[in-house]
Each structure stands twice: as C-alpha cells, then as structure tokens.
Structure 1
Amino acid sequence: MSVRVRRVYEPPEPDDGVRVLVDRLWPRGLAKDAARVDEWPKGLTPSTELRRWYHADDRPYEEFRERYEVELAAPEAAELLDHVRELTGKGPVTLLTASKDPERSHAEVLARLLQE
C-alpha cells in the first residue's frame, strides 16, 4: 500500500495514483483542471475550530494530532477514512494539501493512519 503526501501546488506525477485533496477549502490560485484531483472528501478534514486552534500561537503538533484523531473517529469521518483506505488497496494514493509544512499537517496524520 502506497500513500504519500504532496503539496497540491506541485505538478501531478504519473505515479501519484488516486489524488485526494484533504483540505476543506479549495487551494488559492489553483485551477481545478490543473490540480487533477480525483477525490475531495471534505468531511475528512480537521474542523474549522481545530484548524484555528492549531494555527494560533504555534500549538504543539502532537496535541493537534491527538485532537484530530478524535475527530476522525466520528462516524462521517471514519466512513470517509475507510473509503480512502479502500483506495489504497487498489494502488497508490497521494494526499494533497496546500499546507506549507505537509510533514506537520493533518495530511501526515491521515497518511500515517492509512498505512497502519
């Protein structure tokens, strides 16, 4: 199972497989056809409250990860996570985010959960 995280602003690559946008809002300045997004499960993204909490006052990533995992246990998010997990059984999946630091973002939390 191959899951990787990339910035949505990077050009698509042939080995991306299914490209899944994991941000709640569409990335600024990016045309939809240029992004080549196959799936956009908005219910899988962190809540607005959690996102704002994390970006305020440089909050610790580990605490963000724990809070986000609690949100992912809710029925709608868990169902969407299972759907993306099923996609990983069929081939590579690339999680796309506009985050400037993808390694310390929700996309990395998702990638880790999908690879478990």
Structure 2
Amino acid sequence: TPLDMACLGGDIKIVQLLLQNGANPNPQGELSTSPLHMACDAGHIAIAKLLLQLGVDINLQVDEPHYPEKSLTPLHLACYRGHTTLVDLLLQNNVDLSAQSKSLDTALHTASRRGHLNILKLLLE
C-alpha cells in the first residue's frame, strides 16, 4: 500500500498525511506486510512510535516477501536488521517475546543467528 511504502521510505510527514487522509495502519485480509513491519525493517523509529501510538497490532505475524522465514513479527525484523533502538521500543510496548515464526524461531533465535549482541542483551533482560 502507499502507507507501507511511506513507512519503508521513512518520511514521517508523508506517513502522517496518508493517515490523516484515511490510510489504514492496520492491515486487513491476507497481506504480506504491514506499515509497522516496514518501519521496523527499515529502522524508522519515529514512524514505529507513531504507529504504536495509533494502536497497531505489535505482534502481527506476516509473510515478508524478502525473507526466507514466514510468520514474522515486527520484532523479528528489528532483530534481523540489528535495530537495537527499535527492539527497545517494542519491548517497552509489551511485545510478545515468545512469538514464533513458522519454523519456530523467536526473536532471540533471529538476533543470535545474526550476531546482534546488544539486542540479545536487551531480549534477555
């Protein structure tokens, strides 16, 4: 959607404009992504904060087309990319640490596999 692309691109003014004009931050139907997933994948913390303030589903699982894993949460993507600040934001918003991908990986598995020590420390606190 245009909102997904704006979240990926990182321009919060465009995201706000789309939201003000009726863009739905909560995906419906069988979509392969969500605005929060896009923001977490690209490391755009201000956009992620805005979406969380709007009450989007922080634990939504989707099949991201650019990842071999399926049923990923925004936390999985932030851990995969090494976005420590985003992981911290998600943790502050009560993200489900036990959410598993279709291959049963948690965010802890993802961070371990990618070698993101700072994220591992956050997840284990």
Same fold (TM over 0.5): no
The structure with more strand, counted as a fraction of residues:
1
**Higher RCO structure, 1 or 2 (CA under 8 Å, sep 6+):** 1
Q: TM-score if structure 1 supplies the norm length?
A: 0.29
